[in-house]
Amino acid sequence: MNEPTSNGRAAWLRDVGARLGELGEVAGELSARDLERDAADLAERLAKGRFFVACVGQFKRGKSTVLNALCGRDILPTGVVPVTTAVTVLRYGDTLSADVRYFDGRREAVDPSSLDAYVSEVKNPENVKGVAAVEVSVPSDLLRSGMCLVDTPGLGSVFETNAETTRAFIPHLDAALVVVGTDPPISGEELDLVRQVVERVGSILLVLNKCDRVTDAESHEAAAFASRVIERRLGLEVGEVYRVSALERAAGRPTRDWPRLESALAGLSARAGTVVEASAARGLSRVASGLLREIDERRQALERPIEESERRLASLRSAIQAAEYTLRELSARMKVEQLALADRFGEIRNAFLAGDGGRARRELEDRLDAAPFTRGPGVRTLAIDLAHDIARRRVTEWSKQVEPAAETLYAETIARFVDLANEFVIRLAPESSAGALTSDEIAVARRFQHESQFFFTSMLTLAEPGFWAWVFDWVRPRRMLVRSSLRQATRYLDRLLVTNSARVANDLAARVEESQRKLEREIRDRLSRLVESAERALERARAQHAAGLPALSAERERLSRLRDRVADAQRVAG
């Protein structure tokens, strides 16, 4: 552990460690095993001066490859399909070793070369092995300060459990590397993730990976786009966006902003003492808050007549079973509606190409004819630049025009889904225990829940003339030079219009899907919280009422004492 900067900080950290031990004891008395493990893990991290820097983002952004490159060795499995299914923690160790922790409490030492058996989607599909986390000790200088790099499952894959694993880890992180890409630079789900991370840690390091796949100009544009979206939507000043290629770095080649990314992480390591202190305060507050909720739920269970709890739970289970069946049916119908919407977006795009395509070609010809006379390859360069500007302007204007119409189509499609969802909420709300569900209307999904992630691609490699064309351009007559340049620029213009209009249509379809998924997740989360709360209340009520009135009184007093202990420990974090 790093030496504390003052005796006061050292004393405070010792006090926090002691309080975490006390909270662990309270959790053990309550049989709250998750909170007990959380308190123990926090105490161990505090004692060893460790803090978590999580690598998060959409699946297939290359997060595992980035972490491998930072550590200087291939540790984490990578592949062409969604790979990571469980959280993997890379921490410092004198030798390379690995341990697997399971949800049932077991620990197992494993060969680091066999990690894919535990964290890959192929060998551990949807985490059927019940892996809670994999911890890998790595002899890396970057990790000596106590920094632990954390690989998380990607968002947006077909495996929803993977995304839930990442969201569940957010309360445990201390800093974040948000890895985005160039196509699109940032998705709606990633934006939601950034919001949750920022609420937790206050800032992020934004990494634009796979920049070797685009031109330097396109990577700059993608970085600026991602930064603009985050600043506009979240009010967060991103600062530098680190444009890198983890594959280039792993191959030992220089790669754009990689040295500055390593410098930023080194700066974080230099502030390890401050980071650990903030982590300890947040962790202590989190465990204490969880215990207070657990104690309050138990106290409420003691006050409720057992018959009322049984009636509520029976009614609730029946209603939820019917709601879940209907929700699955609605989801299947919505998939059909999504396909129909995608077809409609395709029709809108075809109409755009049929109308604007011809007008764009005529504009290109007129502007090239009106250009000042010049000789040589400059004519061809001018024609390509004109084609690029015309395509960008027309596609961008069209995307803004089509947005309201697309949102209207979506609103009409989603309206029935939302109305039925609200019927579930209104019907089930009276059965809710401990405020698990309210009758507030779910109205957010009647509009797109994510901003457009359309990003104009320039495909500049298609516009480069061949060597002989460049040579002949110096000797061609003006008329022939203009005709040749116009033919190439027209082909480039058509390709830009076709490709980028398809990207607009695909973006609209993706936003429909993301909005629908967000609504489904909200409904299912509400139903899940509702039934879990009711089941816990009934289980505890049965046990306490069966013990008789003296036992009930004793349990109330015990819970009050435990609550006072927790509240006292929580004040340290404040």
Same domain, 416 and 497: yes
Give CA–CA dist 480/487, Å, rounded: 11
Q: 4 pLDDT exceeds 50?
A: no
E runs forming strands in 61-186? 88-92, 97-102, 107-110, 131-138, 147-151, 175-180
State pLDDT tens for residues 181-191.
877 677 777 77
Same domain, 230 and 351: no
* Domain CATH for 222: 3.40.50.300
Give CA–CA dist 422/178, Å, rounded: 34
429 token code pair: 């709300």
Q: 72 pLDDT exceeds 70?
A: yes
304 token code pair: 């409720």
Q: Which of 225, 250, 271 finishes a domain?
A: 271
Same domain, 325 and 468: yes
More confident residue, 313 or 94: 94
* Cα of 566 vs its chain's centroid, Å: 32
pLDDT more than 70, % of the chain: 70
Same domain, 341 and 474: yes
- pTM value is 0.61
Q: 375 pLDDT exceeds 80?
A: no
Per the structure, the count of domains in the chain is: 2
State pLDDT tens for residues 211-253.
888 888 888 888 888 888 888 777 777 788 899 988 888 888 7
In this prediction, residue 443 carries a pLDDT of: 42
Same domain, 214 and 320: no
The angle, 0 to 180 degrees and rounded to 10, between the axes of the packed helices 478-547 and 549-573 is 140
Give CA–CA dist 82/60, Å, rounded: 6
Confidence of residue 137 (pLDDT cuts 50, 70, 90): very high
Same domain, 81 and 227: yes
- By mean pLDDT, which of 92-96, 181-185, 256-260, 368-372 is the weakest? 181-185
Whether 551 is covered by a domain: the verdict is no
More confident residue, 490 or 407: 490
| Average pLDDT over every residue of 412-423 | 62
Whether 557 is covered by a domain: the verdict is no
Confidence of residue 3 (pLDDT cuts 50, 70, 90): very low
- By mean pLDDT, which of 11-25, 111-125, 298-312, 365-379 is the weakest? 298-312
State pLDDT tens for residues 145-165.
888 898 887 654 434 555 566
State pLDDT tens for residues 362-374.
888 888 888 776 6
State pLDDT tens for residues 425-481.
565 555 444 333 333 444 444 455 555 667 777 766 665 666 556 555 565 666 777
- Strand-pair partners of 241: 206
Give CA–CA dist 425/441, Å, rounded: 8
Average pLDDT, the chain: 76
Same domain, 322 and 261: no
The angle, 0 to 180 degrees and rounded to 10, between the axes of the packed helices 33-48 and 7-29 is 160
Same domain, 129 and 205: yes
Confidence of residue 2 (pLDDT cuts 50, 70, 90): very low
Give CA–CA dist 84/63, Å, rounded: 10
Same domain, 336 and 250: no
Confidence of residue 96 (pLDDT cuts 50, 70, 90): very high
DSSP assignment string, 398-419: HHHHHHHHHHHHHHHHHHHHHH
In this prediction, residue 446 carries a pLDDT of: 46
The boundaries of the domain holding residue 478 are 306-537
